[in-house]
Chain A
Amino acid sequence: MKRRDFLKSASALAASTAVSAPAVFSPAKAQSRQETLLIVSESGPNNLDIHGVGTNVPGYEVSWNCYDRLISHEMKTGSNGQPYYDKNKFKPELAEDMNIGDMSVTFKLKKKATFQDGTPVTAKDVKWSLDRAVSVGGFPTFQMGAGSLTKPEQFVAVDDNTFRVDFARKDRLTVPDLAVIVPCVVNSELVKKHATEKDPWGMEFTKQNTAGSGAYKVASWVAGTEVVLERNDAWMGGPLPKTKKIIWRMVPSAGNRRALLERGDADISYDLPNKDFVELKQDGKLTIVSTPYSNGIQYIGMNVKNPPFDNIKVRQAVAYAIPYQKIMDAVLFGLAKPLFGAVPDAPTEVAWPQPHKYNTDIAKAKALMAEAGYPNGFDTTLSFDLGFAGVNEPLCVLTQESLAQIGIRTTINKVPGANWRTELNKKTLPLYTNVFSGWLDYPEYFFIWCYHGKNSIFNTMSYQSKTTDDFIDGAVNAAATGDNATYDMDVKGFVDTAYADMPRVPLYQPYVNVAMQKNVSGYAYWFHRRLDYRTLAKG
């Protein structure tokens, strides 16, 4: 940890917040467009609280912008020249100081920080919030667990301004996990007022209302239609955002979203079909920013428990039969980072994701099929998530066509978005395509979920291999102790094994594409891939 950087940025921050604009009463109609940002997207939040039961991804965006965490990440310049979060550098948000010890980390809270209702932020609130995150179950608890944050006892409010997190064990993911969306700080006194015996954490209240200290507060929310956010002028977490008001409209039709952008009615949209992004980029009227998913891949998975995909030769044949380049061209319009066709003698890197060495080679695939004992192929189903049909459907159609050439006759099975998780979790789908990405950008983090023999729900192939498990466990331990050499060896080891066994065939690293008007600036890529309103500005 580079404590000095942290402190430097913290003081700069304090200076910039010294002058803050007074809150002005401004009725919606009088609001000038200049200070308002209109965002359009396909779907909206179902819950304003990330701790809530079944909060969806758009809900995370609200949480990110309306709540503060103790710490956040610094920015750096990404590979595409745009601001990109720096996974190794932290900056304070509610904390003004972070002190990492051997088995604990201590934070000093900013004294001036207040919640949106004016009450000061205390260590008690932080304690209550983190207790909440590890206790409510579901996704938040799971995510906290990913950084070995599992018990309320780990969180200690030393005094009003001092807060300590005790480590359950040595884990290099613990501190980064405190900078994700989940460990947000909630106004505990306010929420407790609305808590009931049945609902001790006041989840019903926070579902509809934001109770944080963040840069924005939700002024109105019509589920499925619109979220209006207004700036919190007393925000202490960073420099005062330039945009006073955010209007976030749900526009289900992608064509309409594109039209709105092109006609200059909407300011930002980030889920458009790739093709539109390519064309908009060519038009040059809008700013288009494409960033590869951090730690995320689109892949074709195969169920290794059952025939015929229990046969390694069949899996390799599939890996040789996938029309990679066609998918890149016709489905993604080049807007993705290929994960195939690495030079045959290229060394394996200590990185994830990285390309594998397979290429489309029908002859080789056929040979492998014959070797595997399926010279005439077989019938199976190819499933995909209908929620992402725009990419998945043509991808599957191309794959289906290509697989047919080596005798694998597939029926395409469209699974409605809501059932996709359920279907995957049954671990019975023989052949499917999916995306997995982790917030914490570390190779072992990805592999522990997706390849480890403890068979987590994300190991949808039911892949189990002693070799891989050993490499993964080794890498986790080495990371915790800072043993870089072992770590590098183990990472290379599990990547190589995964590419030899091929239980899932990585296709490409998807891009997060954001289209905005030329006058909009300040877009930054975050691990959660949602928008950070705090840096966005217009004009």
Chain B
Amino acid sequence: MAKKKPTKTEELLRNSDKSLPLLDVQDLTVEFVTRRGIVRAVQHINISVAKGESLAIVGESGSGKSVTSYAVMRILDRAGRITDGTVMFSGIDLRAMPENEIRDLRGREMSMIFQSPRLALNPIRKIGRQIEDVLHQHAQVDSGLVSEKAIEMLEHVRIARPRERYHAYPFELSGGMCQRVVIALALACKPQLLIADEPTTGLDVTTQKAVMDLTVDLTRERGMSMILITHDLGLAAAYCDRIVVMEKGHVVETAQAERIFKAPSHRYTRKLMRATPRPGVTLRDLLPEEEAKSARPIGHTDRHAAKPLLVVEKLVKEYPRNDARGTLTKLFGPRPAVEPENFRAVDGISFTVDRGESVGLVGESGCGKSTTSMMVMRLIDKTAGTIMFDGEDIGEIPARKFATLPLRKRIQMVFQDPTDSLNPRFTAARAIADPILRLGNGERAFVRERCEELARQVGLPVELLDRFPHQLSGGQKARVGIARAIALKPDLIVLDEPTAALDVSVQAVVLNLLQDLKDSLGMSYLFVSHDLNVVRLLCDRVIVMQTGQIVEQGPTDQVLVAPQAAYTRDLLTAIPHPPL
């Protein structure tokens, strides 16, 4: 098939005034019809992107940043519609364009990449074919050359052995690799604008860096414009020329990247900036200025050097490798030369947590940090090694049995996802009361009083206690989770990425709360996280894990300032640095 005849829009684009901004959004309003009535997700916003410019739209959840991008692409779902404003692309009114014409524009003139790259690809279609689909659709190349072109695209996004990978399915590729494919897909038709919606969420920090670097390189190379949608001010500042800050459907500030960090003009921008964890600040610095002033100073960590609370030695967790051979072959087939080895998720690690100490367990996904925390929590059984808690080898007690032991109440946990960790059928009070009712002694009669007390302690308004999880905000749910964890006054709390699902401003508050609680209740924390900046703020000591082993551990300052292991250094350099 020969190249398609240029369409009307193509001609329009070719003849459009080159001095115009590539994208000019004026007075855009987007409404959603919900059962609670009409919700205005975006209200009268103005955004423009010049040719070759990279713009970041930054905001917390619910700010309308993603909706804006969907509105520009005109891929809002059924309930949403643009009610006001204009969207001009190279001088063409996108809002007035018929659906078949704008479809032609999508992917050819403006492309989009999404978060969770693995989900963004058709799981049962070869990646090469998916790129071809786009090429075909926009008739960019002769159909005979289309697979060559797809392979070429894979090469561009720096996928090794692209000719082989052409035939791969998404599940055969890593997350980072998938995101590269998505980028290839987006750039295949040489669009003028790339919209990247949280492209690195769910990726490890090292991968995140690689993906962002790639994206920026490719767009610069091709003279494209880019809109980066992110919640991470750091990321935005590191990769974009200009930043738009959105709050609750409004644009509150638009400025050059350096400007916004040096002199944020809007109150909200300042709040956001302060809340973003970064080197050289304390926990209190994350809070808005007014609150930071009133907050108590961080207490002195009272470390009992005598006897550590938790001693983990040579801890091993093995999982059987999935044996792919069929039962028949297993029974009758020839014995393999070497028995397939078990997969070691945790490979003989040793560490201690002292009383009153906060220890950070850091690593990228799959490093074994979560498995370790689950074993310490006695939710899963170990394969080998010892877990001594206050002098007792709790590793020997089977996980199933441990649940009802009195010892249980001394080790508690705060979960990563506050929504997932609350029973949707329990009220907040019932959730907080659960451990008291099960493990508390003699407190049953005063459960309600105790719940209210705990609510006050974690800063949860008492009147919210009778609400169900779906009636609470993310921050409130996190507080309920924390209240439940501290209800029995445990000695050790494992914090499993407790703020990963929260907005930065909420994260700042929760981190401070955790610090305060530790100080006032004298607990020890084992803080599991991938975010070095957060660990830096909360932890006394840091353990860095990689592939089931500890690569480095030591006092926070030492490890994060002068890392010994190469891996720790990689982690640190991968953190996006705003231009300060």
Q: CB–CB under 8 A between A and B in the complex?
A: no
